């Protein structure tokens, strides 16, 4: 995958995350700037950071529970250490950080 293809997929991914939050009604604010999306759990101010890494063709997630790296495998972004999909991991870390019930459709 070249950088243009990666960036197109990453743009679609970020939009999907935004739509999932909006559709859930969860009290999570998001900001997307320069390829970095910051989710803020309003209940306690904790953050989840999602960033694109074009040079490595990876998506990185930073949460209270740690840092996670995702590679595209077929049509899913899969964590290199836990084998969770990105949508599964985002749901889990948001739940752990105080905002349960968000189902991500990435």
CATH number, domain containing residue 37:
3.30.920.10
What integer pLDDT is reported at residue 84 of this predicted model?
Answer: 96
SS3 at position 41: strand
Could you give the CA distance from residue 68 to residue 48 in angstroms, rounded to a whole number? 11
What integer pLDDT is reported at residue 106 of this predicted model?
Answer: 57
What integer pLDDT is reported at residue 104 of this predicted model?
Answer: 80
Each residue's pLDDT tens digit, 42-101: 889 999 999 999 999 999 999 999 999 999 999 899 999 999 999 999 999 999 998 666
What integer pLDDT is reported at residue 102 of this predicted model?
Answer: 73
Asked if residue 104 is part of any domain, the answer here is: no
Calculate helix-pair angle for 86-96, 3-24, nearest 10 degrees: 40
Which residues contact residue 82 at a Cβ distance below 8 angstroms, ignoring those fewer than 6 apart?
Answer: 68, 89
Asked if residue 106 is part of any domain, the answer here is: no
User: What is the domain range of residue 33?
Assistant: 3-96
Pairing of strands 47-53, 58-63: antiparallel
In degrees, to the nearest 5, what angle opens at C-alpha 43 toward C-alphas 68 and 61?
Answer: 10
Tokens of 29: 């604010």
Report how many domains make up the chain: 1
Asked if residue 102 is part of any domain, the answer here is: no
Asked if residue 63 is part of any domain, the answer here is: yes
What pTM value is reported for the model?
0.90
What integer pLDDT is reported at residue 100 of this predicted model?
Answer: 65
What integer pLDDT is reported at residue 25 of this predicted model?
Answer: 84
């Amino acid at each position: 995958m070249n950088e243009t293809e990666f960036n197109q997929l990453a743009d679609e991914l970020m939009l999907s995350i935004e739509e999932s939050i909006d559709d859930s009604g969860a009290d999570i604010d998001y900001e997307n700037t320069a390829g970095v999306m910051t989710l803020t759990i309003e209940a306690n101010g904790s953050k989840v950071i999602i960033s694109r890494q074009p040079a490595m063709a990876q998506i990185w997630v930073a949460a209270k529970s740690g840092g996670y790296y995702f590679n595209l495998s077929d049509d899913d972004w899969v964590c290199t250490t836990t084998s969770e999909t990105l949508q599964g991991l985002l749901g889990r870390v948001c739940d752990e950080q105080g905002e349960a019930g968000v189902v991500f459709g990435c």
